[in-house]
């Protein structure tokens, strides 16, 4: 990963590897707290991984190129694709966390 995507963010609910530099721990906590509050569920810690390569991301989800992010049911991990940017991160992350709650 490039230096702009080298951060690892760790909270009680997730370990996010390869996070872009514009994501802060506080931002992740804010999104997570909203989902937990709205769905009345405490998320157990999950792994979140960012992908810079569309091909590498597609190898993970085996769907089409329109997919922005996926939550894998076998291990409840979240995988975020290269098209997710600052303008759609909150909604995308929140959406995937709803899947996590349903799986947990």
Gap between the Cα atoms of 94 and 82, Å rounded:
17
Pairing assessment for the beta strands 77-80 and 69-72 based on DSSP bridges: antiparallel
List CB contacts of 27: < 8 A, sequence separation 6 or more: 89, 90
The reported pTM is 0.92
Predicted confidence (pLDDT) per residue in 10-47, tens digit: 999 999 999 999 999 999 999 999 999 999 999 999 99
Q: What are phi and psi of 39, to 5 degrees?
A: -100, 0
Residues in the chain, overall count: 104
């Amino acid at each position: 990963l490039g230096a702009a995507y080298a951060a690892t963010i760790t909270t009680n609910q997730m370990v996010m590897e390869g996070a872009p530099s514009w994501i802060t721990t506080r931002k992740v906590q804010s999104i997570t707290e909203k989902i937990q509050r709205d769905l009345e569920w405490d998320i157990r810690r999950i792994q979140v991984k960012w992908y810079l390569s569309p091909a590498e991301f597609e190898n993970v989800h085996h769907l089409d190129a329109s997919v922005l992010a996926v939550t894998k049911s076998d291990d409840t991990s979240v995988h975020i694709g290269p098209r997710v940017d600052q303008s759609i991160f909150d909604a995308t992350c929140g959406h995937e966390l709803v899947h996590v709650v349903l799986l947990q």
